[in-house]
A and B are shown apart, each in its own frame.
Chain A
């Protein structure tokens, strides 16, 4: 616990309000404190509208909290400019969304290359090899050259996971990554996330509505009305 390097994410009094200064002003998150350590595999659950996506966007540096401080791998983020936020996001965070994760203009393999390309500016062989390695890891070697639109929903989510991992981030944020899939595909995608987590130091924060999948995480955080209602270790997940 005392090892700062072991802390992937820390939230201190995070608040988020929308429509500030307007009559419709509403606070969605009311002062959250939270720490996620290296390698943790965490489920974020809660009713619709409780603020799960809002929280994930804040953690992913896509949005700014109204108050509070957010540390990513020990670095405070509230004072950072857009350029620095982009760099930190590229280095430390991988995203998996529920839908439309991939750019349809590119193949599966190219989609996995994009974060490296954005960071380094020009494609090279090393990038291709790294992307191919990840495509293989998610079990899609056969369809790597297919346009991303030609893949099934489950395959697309696997590509998105490969892309999220390509920069070796400290934290992967997944917002209902299996919400759009049938049970079988959802299980496969979830298995993949678990396996990647076991084989690396990467922490995962996964929003899910599926209690069955939440039960397979090491820790379950429940958000209700913008507050952490419960946060407990889940022994059932242990083998």
Chain B
């Protein structure tokens, strides 16, 4: 008899070891449940991280815009020579009032990691016969590249643009038959026109964005869009993306400008995340409940099987409390050991999944993110579930009348 463990532990371990088949079956049940939770949690959190990244890779967390105009004129009358080519949907661009002040003010706020001025407008790429409508974004690479994961999407050249540099998408480059170093002509509705040289090609993994977005230097955009010294938006990233809505409201209150957070503009995305989290919670709840019922039913049977032993123990000086703890402990140990086994099985599942669920090019079909803390939570959770499940059988055992139990 080991001298490390106290009385109740020694009894609990012996009882469980002796009822080998029952112990094995119920622990396998708990292990299976925990492995399902580990696996599904990793899958869902992988999916969420992926969705999250896909969204925030292309979008600032907070966008500060000029206040909404009540009625916005479609375009200025008497525009220059391009007026006939311009489609009526081209809108008059409006600058954020005193944007430098706003930028400085926001940069000082707690939790803000990047603030970048942006000029966005519409234009046409003209090369030979070809004529493509594009959305152009004027950026300062020093700030903007921290805001959006543009750098990692560059497949040729560099994202560090100045002067008359331009970044174009892969699909646009292919359509026009151009590559880095080639020159393009850009025209805007306000009559601006410039010859720009391709500094880099990006691939956003989305043919719409790859054929319609272009990036140019902020100053170039300002002059092309007739917005000297102005910017159409100030964009912000935070250290904690999920605080965006609160921060956006603060900025709005302080500046009186229109401020959008990624949370508000992606309401659908968030309801999808919520639905996933909810289904994960439901799965956890039912797996936990199933495990609890399994543990409870095994222990209820065990109390009946062991009633004579309980009577003998009580007759030889074991207290009710000790009997209670003996059975609570069996529940807790079943949960704990089952969950540790389940964590191992879940981890093996995940590794197998990583190998099986891959695209033709070897990349992950469903990327999985795995938080090792999940093992700890699963172990603690299963131990609690086991203890709670054991409560009823343990009370039954403790209340057993020893005289009746011994009589049999």
Contact = CB atoms under 8 A, between A and B. Distances in A.
The answer to whether A and B belong to the same complex is yes
Interface of A: 53, 57, 60, 62-63, 82-83, 86-87, 89-91, 94-95, 97, 100-106, 110, 113-115, 117-119, 121-125, 128, 163-164, 167
Contact of B403 (A62, A86, A123, A163): A62
B309 to A, nearest CB: 5
Nearest to B406: A97
Interface string B322-364: 1000000000000000000000000000000000000000000
B171 to A, nearest CB: 73
A181 to B, nearest CB: 19
B316 A106 contact: no
A65 to B, nearest CB: 12
Contact of B316 (A100, A118, A128): A118
Nearest to B407: A53
B205 to A, nearest CB: 62
B312 A100 contact: yes
A89 B317 contact: yes
A100 B313 contact: no
A118 B402 CA distance: 16
A63 B402 CA distance: 8
A86 B313 CA distance: 11
B18 interface: yes
A125 B3 CA distance: 8
Interface in B1-45: 1-3, 5-7, 10-11, 14-15, 17-18
Contact of A62 (B15, B17, B406): B406
Contacts of A110: 1
A82 B18 contact: no
The 5 closest A-B pairs by CB, nearest first: A90-B317, A105-B14, A63-B403, A57-B403, A118-B318
Given A53-B407, A82-B320, A100-B308, A114 B2 contact: no
11 contacts: A62-B406, A63-B401, A95-B315, A97-B406, A105-B15, A105-B17, A114-B316, A115-B317, A118-B318, A118-B322, A163-B316
Contacts of B313: 103, 114, 118
Given A86-B320, A95-B316, A104-B18, 4 more contacts: A60-B315, A102-B312, A115-B317, A118-B7
Q: Which of B320, B321, B401, B402 has the most CB of A within 10 A?
A: B402
A88 to B, nearest CB: 9
Q: How large is the interface on B (under 10, 10 to 19, 20 to 34, 35 or more residues)?
A: 20 to 34
A62 B18 contact: no
B314 A115 contact: no
A121 B312 contact: no
B317 A119 contact: yes
B7 A122 contact: yes
B319 interface: yes
Contact of A122 (B3, B317, B403): B3
A121 B319 contact: no
A124 B7 CA distance: 11
B298 to A, nearest CB: 16
A147 B17 CA distance: 14
Contact of B10 (A62, A87, A117): A117
Contacts of A121: 6-7
A53 B314 CA distance: 16
A82 B309 CA distance: 19
B343 to A, nearest CB: 29
Contacts of A63: 401-403
Contacts of A95: 312, 315-316
